[in-house]
Amino acid sequence: MSSLILHPTTTAQWYALVNEAQASCSITLQEDLESYLVFLLQRFINNPDIASSVLGLDFLKSYQPSSHHQQLKDVGDKCLLVAGLFPGRALKRRVKLSYFVKLGQTAYSTLSNYAVHQEELFNQLCYEFPKLLDVLLAMRESSLSTVDLLQTLELWQETGSQVAWKRLRQITPALPVSNFDKKLLN
């Protein structure tokens, strides 16, 4: 059993948890993505309702003329949190985890076209979304235990989640075929 180490601030605590999760899933996030994730988690702790909205509707509302780009950022952030920390919520809503991944990636990608001085960050968030997801899943070691084996397979196939891959390998010695492998076989 690992010992509990307390840090002087909640931000330092989140930073330590993110680093531990990266180490446990063999992922190294770039410094700006790591910081973004830490501050997203910090923001979440102060706003626990962040993951309870209907994200598809929020995404559509962000395209209204009166909307702000903050709404797109919120959609991407909420999708990341739901898929990574609360996969059970997605399953209760009967929504694939990959839906949240794709919606979040689309929100960040769209935002990268509008966010002056931050377009590279949001572009990285879009493309590195599966890695960020894996770090969050690793933070919640048992998070995939709420997801059944077929959904874990689907998450790995559709997003490339390495945490999902490791869970599959722990459960069965069989090698699942990915969508990428299927394309090669045809």
pLDDT along the chain (186 residues), means of 10: 60 86 91 93 74 58 62 88 82 83 92 84 94 90 61 81 82 67 49
Indicate the DSSP class of residue 11: H
- Amino acid 69: pLDDT: 73
- Amino acid 179: pLDDT: 57
- Amino acid 92: pLDDT: 78
Indicate the DSSP class of residue 64: S
- Amino acid 156: pLDDT: 83
At which residue do the structure tokens 């960040």 appear?
A: 108
State pTM to two decimals. 0.78
- Residue by residue, DSSP assigns 9-54 as SHHHHHHHHHHHHHHHTT----HHHHHHHHHHHHHHHT-GGGG-S-
Phi/psi for 67 (5° steps) reads: -80, 165
Residues 6+ apart with CB under 8 A from 95: none
Phi/psi for 93 (5° steps) reads: -85, 0
- Amino acid 35: pLDDT: 94
